[in-house]
Every structure is written in structure tokens, then in C-alpha cells.
């Protein structure tokens, strides 16, 4: 598990080893930089298949959106309650 600060516009790739075993980190980075979310997901899947990935391939690209006032207020309450 990894904890990270989230900022609007950030993108995260969440995937199984079916994607990361046949593809290098350099390929993952290049595709994520080159394509928008939907196309990047397709190109990553296609690249893993082309590289002979024998395992199932599951991936999601998550983009952080802008927080609304209500979401920000809820997050603040959660943080205070966690202390």
C-alpha cells in the first residue's frame, strides 16, 4: 500500500501483474505521458498482449478531479476525527 498526496489533474495507474510483468516501467511511463486516459488504458492493454503477457490483465487509470466545497468540508471532518 502506498500513501500519496492527491492534486487535481493527477493520474494514477492501478493494475495487476498481468500488465507489469510483460511491460517495463519505461513503457508504462511513456504510454501514460503520450495518451489521454482512455487511449492510454487501451495502449497499455494492447502492449501487454503484444509482449506475450500470459496472465490476466486488469488496469484502471484514475484521474483526480477538483474537490467541491462539500467534499472538502467532509474531508476536513474526517481528518479531525482521525486524530
pLDDT tens for 54-73 read 889 999 999 999 887 766 55
Which residues partner with 15 through β-bridges? 59
- Report pTM: 0.74
C-alpha cell recorded at residue 82? 482521525
Of 65, 4, 34, 6, nearest in space to 46 by CA: 34
- Give per-residue pLDDT as tens, 31-52: 999 999 999 999 999 999 999 9
Q: Quote the pLDDT of residue 78.
A: 57
> Is 70 exceeded by the pLDDT of residue 80?
no
Distances (CA, A) of 81 to 74, 75, 78: 11, 10, 5
Confidence at residue 3, expressed as pLDDT on a 0 to 100 scale: 84
CA gap 22, 48 in Å, rounded: 6
Q: Which residue has the higher pLDDT, 77 or 20?
A: 20
Look at residue 12 and give its three-state secondary structure: strand
Which residue stretches of 1-83 are H helix?
A: 17-20, 25-34, 37-50, 69-82
Amino acid at each position: 500500500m502506498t500513501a500519496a498526496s492527491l492534486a487535481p489533474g493527477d493520474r494514477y495507474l492501478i493494475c495487476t501483474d498481468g500488465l507489469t510483468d510483460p511491460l517495463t516501467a519505461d513503457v508504462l511511463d511513456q504510454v501514460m505521458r503520450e495518451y489521454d486516459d482512455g487511449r492510454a488504458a487501451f495502449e497499455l492493454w494492447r502492449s501487454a498482449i503484444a509482449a506475450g503477457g500470459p496472465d490476466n490483465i486488469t488496469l484502471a487509470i484514475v484521474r483526480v478531479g477538483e474537490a467541491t466545497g462539500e467534499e472538502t468540508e467532509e474531508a476536513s471532518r474526517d481528518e479531525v476525527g482521525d486524530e
